[in-house]
Amino acid sequence: MQAMLNTAIQAARRAGDIAIRSLSRLDQLEIKAKARNEYVTQVDQAAEQAIIESIHKRYPDHAILAEESGRQGSSEFVWIIDPLDGTTNFLHGFPTFSVSIALRKRDVLEVGVVYDPCRQELYTTMRGRGAQLDGKRIRVSERRELEGTLIGTGFPYRSNTRWMKTYLGMLGSVMENTAGVRRPGSAALDLCYLAAGRLDGFFEFGLEIWDVAAGTLMIQEAGGVISNLTGSGSHMDSGNVLAGNLKIHDALRELFTPHLNADTGPA
Q: Is the pLDDT of residue 210 over 90?
A: yes
Superfamily for 2-137?
Answer: Fructose-1,6-Bisphosphatase, subunit A, domain 1 (3.30.540.10)
**CATH number of the domain at 150-260, please?**
3.40.190.80
Whole-model pTM: value is 0.93
Taking CA atoms, 173 is separated from 2, 120, 146, 177, 244, in Å, by: 42, 34, 11, 6, 17
Q: Where are the domains of the chain?
A: 2-137, 150-260
Q: Which residue has the higher pLDDT, 67 or 39?
A: 67
Question: What would you measure as the largest C-alpha separation in the chain, in angstroms?
Answer: 52
* 36-51: pLDDT as tens digits: 545 567 888 899 999 9
What is the distance between the alpha carbons of residues 189 and 206, in angstroms, rounded to a whole number?
A: 16
Span 51-69, average pLDDT? 95
